[in-house]
Chain A
Amino acid sequence: MNAITPNAPALPAPVGLLAELTHRCPLRCPYCSNPLELDRRSGELDTATWQRVLTEAAALGVLHVHLSGGEPTARNDIVEITQTCAKLGLYSNLITSGVGGALAKLDALYDVGLDHVQLSVQGVDAANAEKIGGLKNAQPQKFAFAERVTQLGLPLTLNSVIHRGNIHEVEGFIDLAVKLGAKRLEVAHTQYYGWAYVNRAALMPNKADVDRSIRIVEAARERLKGQLVIDLVVPDYYAKYPKACAGGWGRKLMNVTPAGKVLPCHAAETIKQLEFWYVTDHSLGDIWANSPAFTAYRGTDWMQEPCRSCDRREKDWGGCRCQALALAGDAAATDPACSLSPLHAKVRDLATEEAAETPPDYTYRTIGSNVQPNVRSPLNEEVSL
């Protein structure tokens, strides 16, 4: 059944593995990319299983491993797992909040060959940052962590998720990145899946502020050329074209959850009809090639119009499937972030309206809560045109 047929292009190997080692995290950010139903510690994969998964990933062609969570340093075996990456030649990227036990483990991670650290910062002003992250005294811990990263000579990237509560701080994030000695800064406008979807009305910035933030980043890129690389992720709802989610479904990235479920992207579980396979039942290579969740939206055969005949279909791959489901009610629809989607104008209006209203309080992420998204949809009649 796996015979190569003349018309089928060879399946490219994945380049990245997002290893969500745990969903546990001291922070409670209201835009967390983790699913609403968080895995508990008792269900997490053990060390040996992660090591097997990493070995399979290296053989499959994965080059970068993103050690993420939750807070990955909450795992007692984070050093062993990082060491396994180094032994396999995998590029290890620690995606961390820098709080809790992170600093205490940093030197050991350096010693076993950690390649890169991506540190999240929720805000520039400490009170604002700690309100967003939902943890007191987080900011000084983050700064101490960043200082040790650069002292060790590890490359540091600062990641700032931008939304209504901190969009006025974009200049501050750039200055902070320079001050902390980061080589890269991610100015990533919130993507509205998972917890961010629940909190959309509290997070959605207005168009004028978004445009201003983009101008600030563009000016800083010129000014700091050769010193700081700034990656900018623009917000979908105000964009013209959607982004190629995870570089295209099942094309570049695999995401393994704490319990070992393998997803094409971290939000894919919101598409309830998909069948996901577990690393405990299948090899990573088998999952990549044959898991129903990966084959469902790989390539272009599944597309509807306007994607199907669009020149950009192999550029953005129809955008985000999860967003298509959430906003258009059909995971195979064109992502409404795309200006070619019939729903695009409604989505933009929705964002504009939400951004103009008084923001509701955050719904912080917690394990074991029973949060259900209760946000307006462009499909609802109540949305004015």
Chain B
Amino acid sequence: MTAPFPTPVTDESQRLLSPDELAAALRDIGARRYHNLHPFHRLLHDGKLNKDQVRAWALNRYYYQAMIPIKDAAVLARMEDASLRRIWRQRIVDHDGDAPGDGGIERWLKLAEGVGFTRDYVESTQGILSATRFSVDAYVHFVKERSLLEAIASSLTEMFSPTIISERVAGMLKNYDFITKDTLAYFDKRLTQAPRDADFALDYVQQHATTPQLQRQAMAALTFKCNVLWTQLDALYFAYVAPGMIPPDAWTPGTGLVPEAAATTTAQAAGTGTLGPHDVPRLPRGVRLRHDAVRDQHVLLAPERTFDLDANAVAVLEYVDGTRTVRDIAGLLAEKFTADRAVIEADILVMLNDLATKRVLER
């Protein structure tokens, strides 16, 4: 387990860091806490979410996008230096555009429309998760209430975003046939905007965090912001991946969509449905796990088909015995591979649901 950051325990940790050391410490926070590490993002980038799960992500994330200019206006309002304001106001222009039909929010709406939503429904934000609203609102309050240094430091997640964006764009284009390059236009702009913004903010923090205490405040602000992002994905995962508990009033698949999109909502199959952590998966009659001695590999034999299995899939399927739940299996695998059970559970749920869709696994 990693200790919560910062950890002011020794004199050494109280000392003033050099600008480079401070930058390294801030990057370290991202390396451990940025939401590209979240299981939901891994599923998103690897193409393992179904269409409705991608929709839930696009819908909720809209609220974050829509509130960013309000957040930046709050930061701006606290800047007494006109030269600072001239730089910071560019962020608001980036998001709002100079005219209708322009800007980052508009491009996000295009993305949401691209996955099937009506514009009105997205803009209403009526279907978003409460956790999304709470996290985003907390971010806006944070920049109003804390020091300007902390407000600016909290924006430093932009240092980490170019990596996640390129992963995301490549992964989504490759893995989802309903995502087009046009749909992802938002990210094209952010690839150049984010580093420019981050360079300025990092420079500011390095110059103004002049005492150990201020440096720790800056680091805590960035940690807070990482948590704002992480919490939103926790909530999405909980509601739309596993255990699939959608809160009252939050978006449910099939609503808020243009008619053609509603027709392609992921069907809940009779007899199989979507497997959750407490379901007991089993291989039905006519599906067999077998070692193929000639080719020295494990295969899953199914009606008119053979699935070649990698070592991970074999490890999972060897525990599928019709009595263990998905959670039991994740627990056994976590012990066997000394890994995190929750991460394993997320991974194997995707794999098992994929097999269920192909009608070779049941519960």
Contacts and interface: CB of A to CB of B under 8 A. Distances in A.
Interface of A: 13, 15, 59-61, 63-64, 89, 91, 93, 115-116, 118, 153-155, 157, 183-184, 222-229, 231
A59 B269 CA distance: 39
B13 interface: no
Contact of A89 (B290, B357, B359): B290
B267 A93 contact: no
Given A61-B295, A226-B356, 10 more contacts: A63-B299, A64-B301, A89-B290, A93-B303, A155-B284, A184-B359, A226-B269, A227-B271, A227-B359, A229-B358
Contacts of A227: 267, 269-272, 359
A112 B322 CA distance: 22
B100 interface: no
Nearest to A178: B270
B295 A13 contact: yes
B304 interface: yes
Given A13-B295, A89-B290, A155-B286, A225 B301 contact: no
A61 B286 CA distance: 19
B306 A64 contact: yes
Most chain A CB inside 10 Å of its own CB: which residue of B269, B285, B290: B285
A91 B288 contact: yes
Interface string B262-285: 011011111111000000000011
B3 interface: no
> For the side of the interface on B, what is the size category?
20 to 34
Contacts of A222: 263-264, 267
B306 A15 contact: yes
A365 B276 CA distance: 51
Contact of B359 (A15, A118, A153, A226): A226
Contact of B288 (A60, A115, A231): A115
A288 B3 CA distance: 63
Nearest to B291: A89
Contacts of A89: 290
A61 B303 CA distance: 18
A253 B283 CA distance: 26
Contact of B301 (A59, A115, A223): A115
B4 to A, nearest CB: 42
A224 B299 contact: no
A59 B293 CA distance: 9
Nearest to B264: A222
A224 B301 contact: no
Interface string B321-363: 0000000000000000000000000000000000011110000
A350 B287 CA distance: 43
Contact of A229 (B268, B288, B301, B359): B359
Given A61-B295, A183-B359, A118 B267 contact: no
B357 A184 contact: no
A89 B306 CA distance: 14
Given A60-B294, A61-B294, A91 B266 contact: no
Contacts of B301: 63-64, 91, 115
Contact of B292 (A61, A155, A225): A61
Contact of A223 (B267, B285, B288): B267
A25 B266 CA distance: 42
B304 A157 contact: yes
7 contacts: A115-B285, A118-B304, A155-B303, A224-B267, A226-B357, A227-B359, A229-B358
Contacts of B284: 153, 155
A120 to B, nearest CB: 14
A42 B64 CA distance: 77
Contacts of B306: 15, 63-64
Contacts of B292: 61, 63
Contacts of B267: 222-227
B269 A116 contact: no
B32 to A, nearest CB: 37
A184 B264 contact: no
Contacts of A93: 303-304
A62 B269 CA distance: 33
A228 B356 CA distance: 11
Given A60-B294, A155-B286, A184 B303 contact: yes
B299 to A, nearest CB: 6
Nearest to A12: B295
Given A64-B306, A115-B301, A184-B303, A154 B269 contact: no
B207 to A, nearest CB: 56
